[in-house]
Amino acid sequence: MAAKLIRPIFLSALLTLGGCKDKAPPKSIDVTLGGEAFTLELALTPEQIQHGLMQRESLDDHEGMIFVFPDVAGRYFWMKNCLIPLDVIFADGQGRVVSVRRMEVPKDNDNPPSYSSRWPAQFAIELSAGRAEQLDIKAGDQLELPLKQLKKLVD
């Protein structure tokens, strides 16, 4: 009788423990920027951050990438191996825009220019060039980002 009771308890415990495993982080998030819906790919690891949107030949008007850093610091982006111009929106830990930069395709891929956040930032969002202006996103604006969710991904 005891063996019959132990088996269901053991199986139940295994199923419960199996649900405790860390889930793989999402590959993208849906956000609203300037009143429009966007799907942003997540760049969380150093490798993802370094690769960014390299080799992309196009980017939909409602797509982009969000780079999530574990801390707030000065950020520098470059366009090495990038085939399309991009806007980068830098935001601090509270989601407030600290700067917006347009990044052009480099003429010399071996020596691409660097684009700084100018002020400490924890997030950077890359969109198709010109989208930040179309959305009227500028320094000082508050972005609607799931800040707690994003920060947990890099803790």
- Name the stretches of the chain with pLDDT < 50: 2-21
- Per-residue pLDDT of 118-154, as tens digits, reads 999 999 999 999 999 999 999 999 999 999 999 999 9
Query: How is the chain split into domains, by residue range?
Result: 26-153
Token digits for 5? 């009771």
Q: What is the CATH number of domain 26-153?
A: 2.60.120.1140
Calculate the CA dihedral of residues 56, 58, 61, 62 and round it to 10 degrees.
-40
Supply the pTM of this predicted model: 0.83
DSSP string, 100-149: EEEEPPPSSTTS--EEE-SS-EEEEEEEETTHHHHTT--TTPBPB--HHH
- pLDDT score recorded for residue 155: 86
Q: Which of 31, 16, 7, 13 is nearest to 150 (CA)?
A: 31
- pLDDT score recorded for residue 22: 56
